[in-house]
Structure 1
Amino acid sequence: MEIIPGFSMPLWSIITIITAAAALLIFIIIKIYLNYSLSKKCNAAANNPQAMKEFIRVWNGKKLLKKTRIIEKSAVKNGTDIITETGLDKLWEKQFLVYRRTRYLKKFINYFPEKGLFFCILGGKSRPAFEKIFIRAAEQSSDLNLLKKIAGAGDGNDFDGEYAAKLLSARFQDIIEMTGDSEWQVRFFAYKLLIHNSEDRAVRAAWEAFTDSAAQIRKTAATEIKSEDESRLSKALQELLLNDPVYSVRKAARLRIDKNFPELYRINIKNLSKPQILHLLGLLHDNSDEDINTATEFLLSEDIEIRLQAALYLQKQDFLTKLFLSADPGDKAAYDRTEKLLKMACEVNCTDFLRELEKTDNPASIHLAAGLLKDNGNSKYIDKLAERIFTDSFAEQAREHYTEIYTEALKCISKRGSDTALEMLNRELKSRHSEEDIYSIILPNLPLRGEAIFVPTLLEFLKTGSSVSPNLLRLTIERFPPSMYIEELVGLLRGTPDTVNANVKKEAFKILGELKMPCCLQMILENLRLLTAEEQKEFAVILKSYDEKAFTERVAGLLQSRDSAVKASILSSLPSTGLKTFIKDVKEASKDPDPEVRIASIWALAGYGEIKLISQMTDGLRDPVERVRRETAAVISRYGTETALNELGKLLKDPNEVYPVKTAAVYGLGRSDRPESTKILVDGLNDQELRQPASEALASKITKQEIRLLVELFKDAAPQLREYISEVFKLMGEDSEPAVTALLKEDISSLRETLSEVLLSTGYIETTVLKLRHRSPETRKQAAALLALMQTKEAFKGMVLAARDPDSEVRVEVLRALEKLNTPEGSQILNELKEDPDKRVRKYTLWALERIEAKNN
């Protein structure tokens, strides 16, 4: 196709060109429209705060920078607020400071001339063109306050004061006057210039910078002022270091002192005030052993402000971490000091060193962490502590310190542990509840705030009867709110024997009773039967806490009920309550058809101290039920009048009394701790029919007082009766030996021979002689001392064999004993031992005789 004569183009090319031209035209139109739209938005934003907020939301950063020309046009029309409000001036400033581009400097000169001139000062040293712009603008300006405005535009930003001082040397007088300006930015600008001026007025003015009210000016003074008067300068720097309230100023003074006056920092801290000490501690040197020692001393201060500064420094130096990780209980003094230092740091909340708990394998560090985390530190570390403690490997790591560390960790978890830590503790409790030593540590440390976590586990132990310490389990459950478990307890009490174990039911009852809740009184009284007679008496203390009127009414009703077990249990507990209202009911119960109620009745009378009533109840000795007869006799023997006790003695001698009644009386006398009962029973040994039960009854009397009386009766008895009493001692066996040896040690000469004879009959002397060969010197020494007290042939036979014992203390005991043979009776024993079949016995006996003879001479 020919568009121009002689020039032809393919149709597709023509179409392409037209399309491209159309696209370009559309692009230009759209761009013009968008720019027009943006310009309208700029104008609207300049006059409407709400429109400005929307404009800033859409246009910011690089997107805004690209539209600089449009915003500039709006600024010409509406003022420069559109530039500052949108932050465009900050973007220009950033571009200038980074790239030192002239076009951005010119923008400041056009719209913010003072700021632009300050930027000229900033870049003039490296860009001469900027200096020319500054000089030309300054010369053309008729504003007498131009220099102040430039200083204000600088807004306290740092610049090259030495270069600026040369650039503005002609304005010296103005600069001097600017040091008295009310705006600190103006004063800062002036001081930056005067510091580099050597004229007297400039030097005098520059020294004022050390006491200026603006921190930036004081910091500049500390950093830049130079003076030949080093003494004055050092004092000014030291004043800033110790007394300036602004940290950045003190730090600048510190750095300057380090650089020019290092000897100055050796300040006598004892002469400083508290604020000065705080300032000094905040500027200690990194990696300085001397400063670490100083901070360590102040960490022990009782003043928490001083302690905090010391702790912050030591934490920054990783000193606290090193202390924590290197803890060694083997060096107790060092360990105690470490613990104290770390505790003092924790008290001012410097606890970053505890993060090492995740990594360390040192048991001592873990122990320290447990103690410290109880009161301070992030609770997340307690989770880590629980993870470390509740592992099988930790016991091996901690070894002999395991229990101590484990206990401390549990206290920490209990006091401040998170729910995560408490869940871990609960799992530990479940897995180790069969280990009594661990179980007894965990239960007292279960926190009440974990009730929802722990109570179900504790109840499971209760229901299964799997607790290794039922008493501790019971006390632990009682610490938690009853609302968490009372329904479960009632369910256990109401359970049948095939569904609930008797011991489980008893423990549930004890918990319910020990909670002392008035709403459970009837249930408690009806279930007292779950306890033994002795437990019922102890439980009566709890019953005292209930309202007396309600208690009396309920008891009266139950004593009239048909259930014998309930009545017996209530009767057993009544005396301990101290309520004598029921004495009549108790006496009447002695005639109850049920034997257990009759037994409970007579013991209840004893509990009430009704001695006369007890003494009159000899009819019970002829009760058809043997256990009633026995318990009646036991009560009369223990609590009855002397007349009643004598009546029992007469009963034993009565040829018309039946044997079952007599044996019941013997049984009762055996349970009495009154001396008369022992005498009656010894007398009963002469009766062949009663000898066996009387011997068994006497064999149960093994207290020191009872043995003493029996020995005295043995000593004075006829030969036949002595033989019977000897059989009693044999029946006692080892149970009597502690009391007999205790009497021997009292060294009562009238009883020694009898006591020795008793011990010989029980085989105790032979056993003690064997102990002379024990591997423990202490055991051999004790055996020798006991044998020396007995002074029998059998005892001394063992003693002479121990005369050459390797332990000096044992030999001393033996020699003391052998010296007791320096009597006619002792000589007789030695002469008999000289003829002993054992060669060693004969040898050492001769040696003992020589020692005695030598002592006599």
Structure 2
Amino acid sequence: MNQFLESLSPSTIRLSAAIATAIVAVIALALVELRFRRAVREAAVRPEARRSAIGPLTLAARERHIVKRSERGFIGATGPFPELLTTLGYPARWLETLRDSGSRSAAARLLRFAPDLGLFDCFDSALRHAGVRKVLLAWMSAQGDGFTLRRIALSGPGREFDGAAAKAILADRMDEVRELLGDPEWAARAMAVRILALDDNERSKKGMADSLADPHPLVRRIALQAPLAGERLAFYAEAYRLFTIDPALEVRKAAKARIMAEFPDLYAPDMDALGTEEIIHVLELLDPTSGRDEEIAFRFLETGDPEQKLASAEYLEARGSLGPLLEEANPGDAEDFERRIRLLATAASFQVFGFLSVVDTMDKDGAFMAAARILAGGGDRRLIARMAARWFDRMGEGPYPNERIAIYRAVLSAIKARGDAEACKCLSSELSARRADRDLAAALLDSTDGSMDACVFSILTELFVDPDFPLRDELREALIKQPPEFIVPFALSFLRADRADTPRVLRRDALILAGQLKLTWALQRTMETLPTLDAYEIGSLAPIVVDADSKAFKRKARYILDGVDAPSRAAILAALPATGDKSFMSDVKAALRDADPDVRTAGVRALASFQEDKALTQGGLDLLRDPVERVRVAAASALAETSGGSVVKRLADVLADDNEVDDVKASVIKGLGRASDAASLDLLVDELGVREEWYAELAAALTQRSSRKDLARILERFKDATGELKTRITESVRAMGKRGEDALVELLGEEVVSFKPFIVEALESLGYVESRIRELKHRDPAVRRLSATALSLVGSRAAYRGIVLAARDPDQDVRVAVTRALERLAGPEGEAMLGELKNDPDPRVRKYVLWAMERVKAKAL
């Protein structure tokens, strides 16, 4: 073999190699072709076979062969195979080619092999490409039936096309097009309307007019958009009718657009003449650039039904009208301010609240108040934290104007009502920062809520363990609202805390919490902790503890009273009056003779609380001579509180006794300040005028007697008092502050003529009149109205000087209140005061009183 190869020339070897390569290539090509033909055959006879056996390049290159096989079939499998082309994806390829380049051959093959798939695309392409147009028209002629156009329409239902071009190529088929207007399929009618829109034939115009009432919205919309072919006013009337009553939004949009484009001079909807649903349709399509439409939207946002309010809110939000409405809110005009809040709150209630994003940029106090009130009821909860953080920063340091405190409370109300986790964190941080500010801290504590869980509980417990934190009552109320799994273990932990390490105020508050939580399963622990408190604290706490389980309390009270521990018995005696159960009265009376001073003290106080006057008089008077001073002090205080005619004389003797210790006398005076009968009040007033050395204590005790009944009696004594006593009574009444002021105003309202001069004198000394005059300048009209009414009730010259200055108040109700007050001066009884006002040194007073009296005279006419 080697010799044979060596004998061959190089050219022979190269030729042989080439022949071998050609043979291999031929065999390979034959195999590829065989594989291709088998794949095509497989796709024809088994359409479910995988198409991936033939690649895209092969499909493109062998398209002619595959088309031929689909028509003629294969050896052993005669055709045709119409599904072959679809199986191999040729119609989709032709359709893409047609859309991209307007290929005539692609159109021809689509119409031949897949007309239902590409018929409308061929039609649409024919409107732009002459070659495709010839193919389509030839195909339509070949069909030989009257349904060709219908097939085109149904192959592309509702698709848009050039109606003018279609009319041009179908000029000789317009009757067939008009027949489509009566077709039951809406797609056919829609195609006909697009083509006939530019046809001047009267039949076409009539068909177009009838199409405005077509059952399908697309047909009505296309007919609306067609060029005007009839009488202008008639078409406007029909367009307006469709705009207001058509249920399809696309039709109403088309009608409104047509009206505004061609009939803006005629468009003026009469909202009062429209029905409920028609109003909604109009509101949904108001013009965002129209000021008149904005007025319409505001009207229906305020007065419409819910659906009308929703449409109005959406329009106003899209127009950007709601944000400025919030930013410019001014509480100074109360009526406008409340209207703005109503409108915005209504929008927010329908989940239209994009306008609230201005909380990040608004800069007016009124806007913060309005935003807080709106967010308390609706809107994006996430905005509450951002609003709160901004307002908390704006508050700064005190003193704070009342208006800002009101906004502060409104912000807190929003947090309490709907605040999220971030708002809770903001509240917690603010509470920590404002812990030393009584007013703001109290408001913050009131805004905590159990739903905030651990977010706020940590700061509440931090404040609780601070014995110097002043707002203990408010803090406990906040803690009570926390989840039981947090507050119960926390409260119980103090009931067994070491007395030396736990301040009294913490133990007291923990006991109150335990009682308020009604922990019946910790009642004994609570009762055994009572001795850590003093008698007055137990007395105030007892109703809470007893209310947890009164039957269990009485049973355990009996158990403790039968024991030997004096502090425990004294504590139970102090708590017994809260039960109202006089079955323990024998134990209370026996306590007056107990060996332990604290038990005797608790017993005499319990008798006073049970209002056992007879027993108290008998046993209590004896205790005034008890060897232990604190017992005598307690007895004196209890007797004074209970008082009564039978005891008052004995108490007066105690005060007059030079040998009695001062602590006993001081207790008598304090008790008289806590009493409620007239005899004890008379004793206080009597002693106030004669006992110089006890003046401060007696004055303080009289200051405590600020009830309406007590003040009436004080005024009676005041009428008859003279000299120093009258001065001291006046100072005591002034020291009553707001409590006394409220009681005096209540008495003034009863219009007791004999008391009025003294009440007015007392109120003026308390600064009540000046305060009300200052409130006549308050931004809130409601405050100004109340102040004017209050001043008219006082009726002094100083009060009327303030009233007349409000005669030209911008608020009508304030002016009415002023006029009513001045009407009192119109009679004979007001003549002297009217003369004084007319001659007042202040020219403004003189001017306004004359002007106001003219109004009164005019009203009388």
Question: TM-score when scaled to structure 1?
Answer: 0.72
Deviation at 1:437, TM superposition (A): 2.4
Separation in 1 of the partners of 2:475 and 2:57? 71
Aligned twin of 1:756 = none
Displacement, 1:598?
Answer: 0.8
CA distance in structure 1 between the aligned counterparts of 2:56 and 2:402, rounded to whole angstroms: 66
SS of 1:198's partner is coil
Letter of the 1:279 counterpart = H
Closer, same or farther in 2 for the Cα pair 1:18/1:327, shift >3 Å?
Answer: farther
Change (3 A) 1:62 1:389: farther
Contact 2:688 2:728 (8 Å CA) reproduced = no
The question of 1:417 aligning with 2:419 is answered yes
TM-aligned CA deviation for residue 472 of structure 1:
0.3
Contact in 2 for aligned 1:615/1:640 (Cα 8 Å): no
**Match of residue 631, structure 1, among 618, 634, 637:** 634
Q: Is the 8 A contact 1:374 1:413 kept in 2?
A: yes
| Paired residue type of 2:408 | Y
1:28 Cα deviation after fit: 7.0
Contact 1:565 1:597 in 2 (8 A): yes
Q: Is the 8 A contact 2:39 2:54 kept in 1?
A: no
Which residue among 446, 455, 458 is the counterpart of 1:456? 458
What is the alpha-carbon distance in structure 1 between the residues aligned to residue 157 and residue 241 of structure 2? 27
Match of 1:496 in 2: 498
SS class of match (2:422): helix
Measure how far apart 1:512 and its partner are: 1.1
Say if 1:240 and 1:536 are closer, same or farther in 2 by CA, change over 3 A.
same
Distance 2:391 2:653 in 1: 70
Q: 1:649 to 1:279 in 2, by over 3 A?
A: closer
Greater relative CO, 1 or 2 (CA 8 Å, sep 6+): 2
Q: Distance in 2 between matches of 1:544 and 1:104?
A: 97
Residue type of the alignment partner of 1:375: G
Amino acid at match of 1:509: L
Which position in structure 1 is the counterpart of 2:47?
46
Q: Distance in 2 between matches of 1:400 and 1:291?
A: 39
Worse-superposed segment, 122-131 or 436-445: 122-131
Q: Partner of 1:321 in structure 2?
A: 323
| Preserved contact between residue 65 and residue 91 of structure 1 (Cα < 8 Å) | no
Alignment identity in percent? 25
Give, in whole Å, the separation in 2 of the partners of 1:240 and 1:416.
44
- Does the CA contact (< 8 Å) of 1:631 and 1:668 recur in 2? yes
Residues 340-374 of structure 1 deviation map (CA, whole Å, 9 limit, x = unaligned): 33223222222122234334445444443332222
Query: C-alpha displacement at 1:474, in angstroms?
Result: 0.7
Residue in structure 1 matching 2:625, options 602, 619, 622 = 622
Tell me which amino acid in the other structure corresponds to 2:456: F
Match of 1:439 among 438, 441, 445: 441
Aligned CA distance change for structure 1 residues 313 and 709 (closer, same or farther; 3 Å): closer
Q: Which of 278, 287, 290 is residue 288 of structure 1 equivalent to?
A: 290
Q: Could you tell me how far apart the structure 2 residues matched to 1:213 and 1:348 are?
A: 33
The answer to whether 1:468 aligns with 2:470 is yes
Query: 1:186 maps to what in 2?
Result: 188
Structure 1 residue 685: Cα displacement:
13
- Cα separation, 1, equivalents of 2:335 and 2:630: 66
- Does residue 234 of the first structure (1) align with residue 236 of the second (2)? yes
Q: Name the CA distance, whole Å, in 2 between partners of 1:429 and 1:66.
A: 81
Secondary structure of the residue that 2:599 maps to in structure 1? helix
Q: For the pair shown, which has the larger CA radius of gyration, 1 or 2?
A: 1
Shift of 1:87: 8.1
**What residue number does 1:816 align with?**
none
Task: Note closer, same or farther for the CA distance 1:607–1:88 as it changes in structure 2 (3 Å cut).
Answer: farther
| Residue-pair matches, total | 735
Q: Does 1:219 align with 2:232?
A: no
1:82 to partner: Cα distance: 7.6
C-alpha distance 107-316 of structure 1, shift in aligned 2 (>3 A): farther
Residues 128 and 642 from structure 1, CA distance in 2 versus in 1: closer, same or farther, beyond 3 angstroms? closer
Kept in 2, the 8 Å contact 1:621–1:664? The answer is: no
CA distance in 2, matches of 1:449, 1:672: 44
One-letter identity of the residue aligned with 1:444:
D
Match of 1:758 in 2: none
Q: Write the distance in 1 (CA, Å) between the matches of 2:367 and 2:687.
A: 72
Q: Map 1:329-478 onto structure 2 (within 5 A).
A: 329=331, 334-391=336-393, 401-478=403-480
Q: What letter is aligned with 2:517?
A: L
| Separation in structure 2 between the aligned mates of residue 63 and residue 352 of structure 1, nearest angstrom | 58
Deviation at 1:105, TM superposition (A): 2.0
How many Å separate the matches in 1 of 2:508 and 2:610?
26
Mapped pair 1:585 → 2:560: no
| Whole-angstrom CA distance in 1 between matches of 2:664 and 2:841 | 55
Between 1:581-590 and 1:182-191, the stretch displaced more is 182-191
Partner of 1:261 in structure 2?
263
Equivalent residue in structure 1 for 2:312, among 296, 307, 310 = 310
Residues 541-556 of structure 1: pairs in structure 2 closer than 5 A? 541-556=543-558
User: Shift of residue 525 of structure 1?
Assistant: 1.9
Name the counterpart of 2:280: 278
Matched, 1:151 2:150: no
CA apart distance, 1:475: 0.9
After superposition, give the CA deviation of every residue in 1:460-496 in whole Å (9 maximum; x if it has no partner): 2112225331110011111223331222222222111
**Partners in 2 of 1:40 and 1:460 — Cα distance?**
86
Indicate conservation of the 8 Å contact 2:574/2:606, yes or no. yes
Which of 105-114 and 354-363 deviates more? 354-363
Q: Distance in 2 between matches of 1:550 and 1:382?
A: 46
Tell whether 2:636 aligns with 1:605.
no
Residue range with higher mean Cα deviation, 119-128 or 479-488? 119-128
In structure 2, what is the Cα distance between the partners aligned to 1:379 and 1:697? 55
Deviation at 1:120, TM superposition (A): 4.3
| Matching residue within 526, 545, 550 for 2:528 | 526
Shift of 1:666: 5.5
Shift of 1:426: 1.8
Matches of 2:681 and 2:328 in 1, distance apart? 70
Q: Are the aligned partners of 1:351 and 1:377 in contact in 2 as well (CA < 8 Å)?
A: yes
- Indicate conservation of the 8 Å contact 1:118/1:150, yes or no: yes
Report deviation, 1:8. Answer: 12
1:697 & 1:390 partners in 2: Cα distance?
A: 43
2:407 maps to a residue whose letter is: I
Aligned mates of 2:43, 2:166 — CA distance in 1: 38
Do the aligned partners of 2:94 and 2:106 also contact (CA within 8 Å) in 1? yes
- In the alignment, the residues of structure 2 paired with residue 349 and residue 390 of structure 1 have an alpha-carbon distance, to the nearest angstrom, of 27
Q: Is the 8 A contact 2:43 2:88 kept in 1?
A: no
Is the contact between residue 95 and residue 118 of structure 2 (CA under 8 Å) also seen in structure 1?
no
Taking the TM superposition and a 5 Å limit, the aligned residue runs for 1:645-724 are 670=669, 673=672, 675=679, 702=702
Matches within 5 A, 1:812-851: none
User: Would you say 1:105 and 2:107 are equivalent positions?
Assistant: yes
Any stretches of 5+ residues in structure 1 without a counterpart?
716-725, 753-764, 769-777, 783-805, 813-857
Q: CA deviation at 1:671?
A: 5.3
Query: Which residues of 2 match residues 677-826 of structure 1 at below 5 A?
Result: 702=702, 808=841
Deviation at 1:581, TM superposition (A): 0.9
662 and 368 in structure 1: CA distance in 2 versus 1, 3 angstrom threshold: closer
Distance 1:264 1:479 in 2: 63
TM normalised by structure 2 equals 0.71
In 2, are the aligned partners of 1:575 and 1:607 still within 8 Å (CA)? yes
1:201 CA drift (Å): 2.9
CA–CA distance in structure 2, aligned partners of residues 443 and 576 of structure 1: 28
User: Which string of whole-angstrom CA distances, capped at 9 and with x for unpartnered residues, describes residues 692-722 of structure 1?
Assistant: 988898777646868987998999xxxxxxx
Which aligned pairs between 1:56-205 and structure 2 lie closer than 5 A?
Answer: 89=91, 92-113=94-115, 116=118, 118-205=120-207
More deviation, 345-354/614-623 = 614-623
Change (3 A) 1:260 1:89: farther
Q: Give the deviation of 1:157 after TM superposition.
A: 1.6
